[in-house]
Amino acid sequence: MKITQYSALLATVIAIPAMAQQWQTLPETPPTPKDNPTTAAKVALGKMLYFDPRFSSTGTVSCNSCHNVMLGGEDNRPVSVGIKGQKGGRSAPTVWNAAYLSVQFWDGREPTLEAQAKGPVTNPIEMGMESHEVLVKQRLQAITGYKPHFEKAFGSGDVVNIDNFAKAIAAYERTLITPDSPYSRYVKGDKKALTTQQIAGMEKFSKIGCGGCHSGGAFAGPEKPLGEGFFMKFPTFTTSNYVSKYNLAEDGGRFEATKKEADKNMWRVPLLLNIALTAPYFHNGAVQTLDEAVRVMAKVQLDKDLSDGDIADIVAFLNSLTGEFPEQTMPRLPATPDSVIADIN
């Protein structure tokens, strides 16, 4: 496997005997754009913005509504619910460890967390603000208590703007990482960190071919520079009954963003860290349980029928990918001015 100089310095990589792939743990810190170095002030501001529902048109939906950091980083719904009870078209991906992905959204249409943070606020189904300009003027700048926090994070001048809004949220999201899973301790040398069944599942995960897509420290494919995604076709074997049962091919995936025929049913490979906490599964949230998700993936991606024993072992291994979650506390938000109260609809 090709490993960048960055990951070679920071990732722990070992070869497990009798296995076809190498096993990596997460780098200690995620990649960060040069124009947005992480600082404590940015993280504190970003956390406030992340939890604040006033950046939706109705004042009811925040980033945390769909990507709940008190849970597995999503909302355990097939598709998320936005303003006025509207339902989106795809399941919310987890925000935990998303900083290690080289592109964002299921279809990889945005290159960074910064770019991703700007999208939901103006999506008519999600947060429903009319435009970024309206968001800045009628919410960010109107809630005057935010200004000192923006100045602390970005300096003086015209710093309360959409770019810094996104940079602050991204800085906070880069703190949302879950190291020290049983799997990572095992890879680092603690041979008692996994159970006998989990080790068996680890071997089957490799032997069956799951690692062809789910490789690297985040199990989301090989490391790529920010903006250069790792995509795979899903479903691959379209004659399987699972394809129609779970409507797996109905959504065109990356094609919906690029309109290129070659991108039909292509998807950014999702990470598997904490996968046991993020049911239901797949881009449409159609599969309720992890064992069924493993069964379906084996058939529609590898054309393999797994026994119940194989599935139980692989699921046991996947449970070992749940890491330690840093404690999250609710931030204190600036007071709501009368003008913002009147604007919320």
Residues marked active site are found at: 126
Within 10 Å of residue 13's Cβ, how many Cβ atoms? Answer: 15
- Contact present, 146 and 335 (Cβ < 8 Å): no
What is the C-alpha separation between 321 and 344, in angstroms, rounded? 41
Pair of tokens at residue 216:
């690297």
What is the C-alpha separation between 246 and 232, in angstroms, rounded? 18
Measured N-to-C along each axis, helices 162-173 and 147-154 cross at an angle, to the nearest 10 degrees, of: 70
Looking only at the bridges linking them, the beta strands covering 266-268 and 231-233 are antiparallel
Angle at alpha carbon of residue 286, lines to 285 and 291, rounded to 5°: 95
SS3 state at 281: strand
- Contact present, 140 and 193 (Cβ < 8 Å): no
- Contact present, 215 and 13 (Cβ < 8 Å): no
**64 Cβ neighbours under 8 A, 6+ residues apart:** 50, 51, 70
- Which residues in the chain belong to E strands, given as ranges? 13-15, 22-24, 231-233, 266-268
